[in-house]
């Protein structure tokens, strides 16, 4: 007999599945034994036959039950549900780019994601319209069809409107939709960089791009990153010395420092790109979170040398890998071909959902709510961090990140390792730097930086040093 609790949050089918699965796994229902018929189980538990059919189908999908046409449902033989021997895959070190990214994206272990590059999941609740999902999944609707290689026409039209609000005027035909920004960086690198190229990157800067470029056989040249953008004197000397093919940089809400490149530096950077004949890849994945309007390199350059990359993964839904690149027009055919040869095309459903959010105004409203939440979280975080021995260096104005300095002589790697043991994810500054400039710093996510558990950890670390 199945015990049905009609006050439970679990559906009736779920309750039947749970109880039968427990009995099968415990050996109380021997393998090969026949289960009650659909009609019998429905009658004895006063549920619909549809509910029982649903439960049996789920048990079959779990490999616990076998359905034999005309005979009924039977407990599956043990060999049919034996799992393959576990394969131990050594996780990369948390101190490496790959290891940190692996931990951020892992969901199997509870951890305080104090340095995550993603906002809390519940901050995205309600932004996707369920009615739109249902409509887009009807037979023959846009979400059920293959997406064009270049990306949904409707989405590219909305992206064109979106960038025009930044002062960047570009037609829909010049956009290439990608599987997020990381995918955009890779196809750009594969298309425009010669073998063994020398590439300028922000230091500190986004570590995944650096590892991508290194894996492709290129050499990354660190350019010191200051509060208001790259150190242009250093950049000029490096350009003279190395003759770089490109520079990867973030203009707005730089990761990890949270700073913005000033207008004067943006002009000078583009002037140096022209003088030394290198391309500039502008990473703008966080720009939507800025509290004030600022000029983008793409606006100044008008796509002569700038490749502008954006993404909705950080601000709309972490589960939706939708990004885009706007290249100088002459490179678009090559980028599109590279995309087709690597991933063929994108997700028509995800692209249609992003477009629907943009055209309906839900995205604009959602951004306002995100920025308000971040502002409130930032106030809490800055207040909480005053109770610790850490110093907030930048990121106090807007955006997702705070760049925080540890007390003199402290190692950010050591703090990150200790935090991991305490169930806290910290990003050591050394992850973001090819030089020693990141040692003694950590990146914090504003949404989590005021958490009591984190503040207590910082206080305990210093208490332990003093004792």
CATH of the domain at 430: 3.90.1150.10
* Cβ(156)–Cβ(150) below 8 Å: yes
| Whole-angstrom distance, CA of residue 352 vs CA of residue 375 | 30
296 with 406, same domain: the answer is no
Q: What is the pLDDT of residue 231?
A: 97
154 with 232, same domain: the answer is yes
In a domain? residue 402 = yes
Q: Give the tokens for residue 172.
A: 């829909």
DSSP structure string for 4-67: --TTSSS-HHHHHHHHHHHHHHTTSS-TTPBPPPHHHHHHHHT--HHHHHHHHHHHHHTTSEEE
117 with 134, same domain: the answer is no
Domain boundary among 334, 362, 390: 362
Q: Phi and psi dihedrals of 431, rounded to 5?
A: -60, -35
Domain boundary among 24, 50, 81: 81
Residue with structure tokens 């050499």?
Answer: 219
Exposed, middle or buried, 215 (CB in 10 Å: 0-12/13-18/19+)? Answer: exposed
Residue with structure tokens 């025009």?
Answer: 164
In a domain? residue 91 = no
- 3-state SS, one letter per residue, for 161-172: HHHHCCCCCCCH
Q: Give the tokens for residue 135.
A: 């409509």
61 with 169, same domain: the answer is no
Q: Give the tokens for residue 317.
A: 């839904």
Structural domain that includes position 324: 130-362
Angle (nearest 5°) at CA 220 between 202 and 322: 65
In a domain? residue 293 = yes
In a domain? residue 227 = yes
375 with 388, same domain: the answer is yes
In a domain? residue 92 = no
314 with 328, same domain: the answer is yes
Q: What is the pLDDT of residue 80?
A: 46
**How far, in whole angstroms, is CA 16 from its chain's centroid?**
37
187 with 299, same domain: the answer is yes
279 with 368, same domain: the answer is no
Exposed, middle or buried, 217 (CB in 10 Å: 0-12/13-18/19+)? Answer: exposed
352 with 408, same domain: the answer is no
| Whole-angstrom distance, CA of residue 192 vs CA of residue 258 | 28
| Whole-angstrom distance, CA of residue 424 vs CA of residue 401 | 16
Q: pLDDT (tens digit, 0 to 9) for every residue of the chain, 467 residues total?
A: 688 888 887 888 898 999 888 888 888 888 889 999 989 988 888 889 888 889 888 888 888 999 888 889 999 986 544 455 555 555 566 666 666 766 666 655 558 999 999 999 899 988 998 999 999 999 999 899 999 999 999 999 999 999 998 999 999 999 999 999 999 999 999 999 999 999 999 999 999 999 999 999 999 999 999 989 999 999 999 999 999 999 999 999 999 999 999 999 999 999 999 999 999 999 999 999 998 777 999 999 999 999 999 999 999 988 889 999 999 999 999 999 999 999 999 999 999 999 999 999 999 999 999 999 999 999 999 999 999 999 999 999 999 999 999 999 999 999 999 999 999 999 999 999 999 888 999 999 999 999 999 999 999 998 877 66
CATH of the domain at 290: 3.40.640.10
Q: What is the pLDDT of residue 212?
A: 95
Domain boundary among 81, 109, 139: 81
| Whole-angstrom distance, CA of residue 17 vs CA of residue 57 | 9
- 3-state SS, one letter per residue, for 275-312: HHCCEEEEECCCHHHCCCCCCCHHHHHCCCCEEEEEEC
197 with 209, same domain: the answer is yes
In a domain? residue 5 = no
387 with 261, same domain: the answer is no
Query: What's the structural domain count of the chain?
Result: 3
Residue of 97, 91, 93, 92 whose CA lies nearest to 443: 97
* Cβ(214)–Cβ(201) below 8 Å: no
Longest dimension (CA), the chain: 83
In a domain? residue 4 = no
CATH of the domain at 55: 1.10.10.10
309 with 173, same domain: the answer is yes
* Cβ(350)–Cβ(321) below 8 Å: yes
Q: Omega before 204 cis (within 30°)?
A: yes
* Cβ(312)–Cβ(358) below 8 Å: no
């Amino acid at each position: 007999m199945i015990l049905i609790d009609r006050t439970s949050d679990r559906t009736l089918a779920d309750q039947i599945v749970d109880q039968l699965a427990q009995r099968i796994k415990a050996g109380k229902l021997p393998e090969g034994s026949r289960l009650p018929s659909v009609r019998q189980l429905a009658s004895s538990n006063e549920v619909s036959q549809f509910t029982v059919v649903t439960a049996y189908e789920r048990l079959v999908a779990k490999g616990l039950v076998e359905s034999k046409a005309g005979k009924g449902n039977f407990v599956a033989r043990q060999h049919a549900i034996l799992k393959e021997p576990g394969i131990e895959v050594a996780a990369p070190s948390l101190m490496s780019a790959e290891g940190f990214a692996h931990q951020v994206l892992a969901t199997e272990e509870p951890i305080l994601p104090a340095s995550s590059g993603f906002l809390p999941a519940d901050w995205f609740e309600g932004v996707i319209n369920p009615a739109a999902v249902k409509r887009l999944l009807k037979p023959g609707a846009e979400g059920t069809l293959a997406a064009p290689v270049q990306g949904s026409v409707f989405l590219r039209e909305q992206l064109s409107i979106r960038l025009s609000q930044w002062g960047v005027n570009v037609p829909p035909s010049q956009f290439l939709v990608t599987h997020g920004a990381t995918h955009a960086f890779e196809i750009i690198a594969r298309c425009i960089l010669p073998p063994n190229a020398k590439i300028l990157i922000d230091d500190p800067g986004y570590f995944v791009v650096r590892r991508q470029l290194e894996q492709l056989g290129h050499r990354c040249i660190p350019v010191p990153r200051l509060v208001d953008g790259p150190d242009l004197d250093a950049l000029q000397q490096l350009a003279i010395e190395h003759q770089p093919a490109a520079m990867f940089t973030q203009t707005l809400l730089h990761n990890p420092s949270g700073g913005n490149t000033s207008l004067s530096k943006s002009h000078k950077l583009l002037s140096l790109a022209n003088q030394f004949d290198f391309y500039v890849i502008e990473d703008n994945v966080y720009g939507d979170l800025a509290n004030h309007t600022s000029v983008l390199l793409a606006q100044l350059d008008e796509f002569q040398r700038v490749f502008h990359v954006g993404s909705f993964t950080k601000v709309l839904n972490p589960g939706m890998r939708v990004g885009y690149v706007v290249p100088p027009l002459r490179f678009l055919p090559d980028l599109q071909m590279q995309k087709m040869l690597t991933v063929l095309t994108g997700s028509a459903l995800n692209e249609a959902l992003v477009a629907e959010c943009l055209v309906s105004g839900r995205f604009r409203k959602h951004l306002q709510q995100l920025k308000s939440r971040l502002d409130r979280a930032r106030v809490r975080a800055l207040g909480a961090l005053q109770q610790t021995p850490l110093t907030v260096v930048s990121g106090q104005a807007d955006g997702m990140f705070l760049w925080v300095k540890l007390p003199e002589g402290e190692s950010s790697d050591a703090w990150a390792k200790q935090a991991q043991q305490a169930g806290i994810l910290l990003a050591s500054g050394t992850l973001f730097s090819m030089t020693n400039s990141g040692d003694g710093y950590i990146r914090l996510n504003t949404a989590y930086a005021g958490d009591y558990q984190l503040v207590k950890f910082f206080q305990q670390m210093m208490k332990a040093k003093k004792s």
